[in-house]
Amino acid sequence: MSILVYTENREGIFKKATFELLSYAKEMAKTLNTNVVALSIGQVENSELEKLGNYGATKVLNTQGNNLSFLDNKLFSKIVTTAVEKEGAQIIIMANNISGKALSPRVSASLKAGLVTGVVGLPSSYEPFVIKKLVFTSKAFSNVKVNSALKVLTFAQNSFGVAEPINAVAHVETFNPQINDVPVKNRLIETNRITGKLLLTDAEIVVSGGRGLKSAENFSLLEELAGVLGAATACSRPVSDEGWRPHSEHVGQTGKIIAPVLYIACGISGAIQHVGGISSSKFIVAINNDKDAPIFEIADYGIVGDFKTVLPEMIAAIKEIKAG
């Protein structure tokens, strides 16, 4: 028995979210007295793969190949299920992100393994296996019991934290499953990467703007605040609908669901569909000129005022702190 973790790389590099995923799996493995095996698909240097040992992976299965440069659901899930069988894994863990959501259901159906997506902590019990997840667009939690012997979980980022790295080198093993019989029916035409920007999914701090900012131009103030804080930028739905900001920044029920340490909402009213995407943030700071705006009901700190005066003052005060 073991726990298999699908460790996704971005252009050959593992991100913090992957280390958290492994830390989480390691904690579960301790209780179950078993090992964590990582599965990496695509081109990654050995030295980078070995690093996964620092976060609890004892072994890394390394699958590389020409047709693995973009995510093909069928092919990748076949690799995962083959690895599960090879390792005799009972629990399969992935990130609750784009690729985890793409692969976990296929893996689950293929193995008849009960799937719980977006889990927010360790199981409350192992026998029976019960684990908590967010439901009803983050308005409630459900404790889900998994009846099957094999289990697939997708883990909600930032709900566990990265463990202190240990000094251990994971054993890297080449893994070439038989996948020639899986016909690839997708052809990659073009990739557009967001460059030179901190991604929402990597950020500890997120500064977000709503319709209250009034225009695309006014977002330069928010960009500046993000700059001094080392934060990523986000927005409410109407802002991306208006084209003031790219769709990739839209958070909420119909956009991204995020859980940064600090979320700063500026000119956002706090509609229930928006809150659904940010309510798991550790701290929320709201800036709004309406003292009764619903966003203050879920905020830890608030400033009642016009963003035009508040943001420049905030930027100046933070600069002062950062300058020591």
Partner 1 sequence: MKILVCISDVPDTTTKIKFKDNNTTLDVNGIQWIINPWDELALTRALELKEASGGIIQSVTVANVGTVASEPTIRKALAVGADNAIRIDAQPKDAYYVAAQLANIVKAESYDIVLVGRDSADYNGSAVGGMLAELIDYNSLSSVSSLNIENGKIRINREIDGGTETIEAELPFLAIVQKGISKEPRIPAMRGIMMARTKPLNVVQAVAVEILTEDVSFEMPQPKGSCKKFDSENVKTLVSLLHNEAKLI
Ligand X SMILES: Cc1cc2nc3c(=O)[nH]c(=O)nc-3n(C[C@H](O)[C@H](O)[C@H](O)COP(=O)(O)OP(=O)(O)OC[C@H]3O[C@@H](n4cnc5c(N)ncnc54)[C@H](O)[C@@H]3O)c2cc1C
- The residues of the shown chain that bind ligand X, judged by CB under 6 A, are 210-212, 236-239, 252-255, 267-269, 271, 273-274, 277, 287-290, 293, 306-307
Which residue in 3, 60, 94, 310 binds partner 1 (CB under 8 A)? 310
Can you tell me which of 3, 29, 36, 229 binds partner 1, judged by CB under 8 A?
229
Stretch touching partner 1 by CB under 8 A, among 35-43, 86-94, 214-222, 255-263: 255-263
First to last CA, the chain: 51
C-beta of residue 146 within 8 angstroms of C-beta of residue 138: no
143 vs 220 by CB, closer to partner 1: 143
Binding partner of residue 248 among ligand X, partner 1, none, CB cut-off 5 to 8 Å per kind: partner 1
* By the rule CB under 8 A, 34 interacts with partner 1: no
Q: Which does 34 bind (CB under 5 to 8 A by kind): ligand X, partner 1, none?
A: none
Q: 115 with 152: CB under 8 angstroms?
A: yes
Q: Choose one: 34-42, 90-98, 163-171, 206-214; the region binding partner 1 (CB under 8 A).
A: 90-98
Q: Helix 73-87 to helix 98-111 angle, to the nearest 10 degrees?
A: 60
| Rounded Cα gap, residues 266 and 251, in angstroms | 13
Interface residue with partner 1, options 1, 13, 216, 317 (CB under 8 A): 317
Distance, in Å, from the CA atom of 208 to the CA atom of 19, rounded to the nearest integer, reads: 26
Residue 22 interaction partner, one of ligand X, partner 1, none, beta carbon < 5-8 Å per kind:
none
258 binds partner 1 (CB under 8 A): no
Distance CA 319, CA 324 (A): 9
Q: Kindly write down the DSSP assignment for every residue of 91-111, as one continuous string.
A: EEEEESSHHHHHHHHHHHHHH
251 φ/ψ angles, rounded to the nearest 5 degrees: -110, 155
**Does residue 174 bind partner 1 (CB under 8 A)?**
no
**Residue 274 interacts with, from partner 1, ligand X, none (CB under 5-8 Å by kind):** ligand X
Task: For the chain, give the number of residues.
Answer: 324
User: What six digits make up the tokens of 234?
Assistant: 């986000």
